[in-house]
Amino acid sequence: MNPENFPITLVVGASKNPERYSFKAIQSLVANGYPVLAFGLRNETINNVEVKTDLHFTEPIHTITMYVGPDRQSELIPQLLKLNPKRIIFNPGTENPLFIQQAQQQGIKTELACTLVLLSTGQYNS
């Protein structure tokens, strides 16, 4: 698959802090040619990706990759489900049984995985 045909990934919990895994995920996704959208607490730019502070996206989002812990997800869940992604990746520390159940009931594939590992091993699109 050519990079221009890659589906869009939304990084939830984006941070400009280079120590954060969300920052590293955006860098890796961009480096691998994936189109990336980002949601975070601050309007900022990471690798030419604008971080939005609201979840009003009109683009068709294929994958949401979570970098927000379960304790801060409750207000985001309805908005994220409205985006109707094909899958949600729950990175380590973001696992939320309620969110996973609601997503699966809506027909959304869920994965307990690390986006960085999936990218580095060539399994991100599988």
The CATH number of whichever domain residue 24 belongs to comes to 3.40.50.720
| CA nearest to 54, candidates 71, 37, 40, 35 | 40
According to the model, what pLDDT value does residue 124 have?
94
**pLDDT tens per residue across span 92-124:** 999 999 999 999 999 999 999 999 999 999 999
Could you list the residue range(s) of the whole structural domain that residue 19 is in? 3-120
Domain total for the chain? 1
In a domain, 126, yes or no: no
In a domain, 125, yes or no: no
In a domain, 29, yes or no: yes
The mean pLDDT of 20-44, rounded to a whole number, is: 96
- Burial group, residue 55, by CB count within 10 angstroms (0-12, 13-18, 19+): middle
**pLDDT tens per residue across span 57-93:** 999 999 999 999 999 999 999 999 999 999 999 999 9
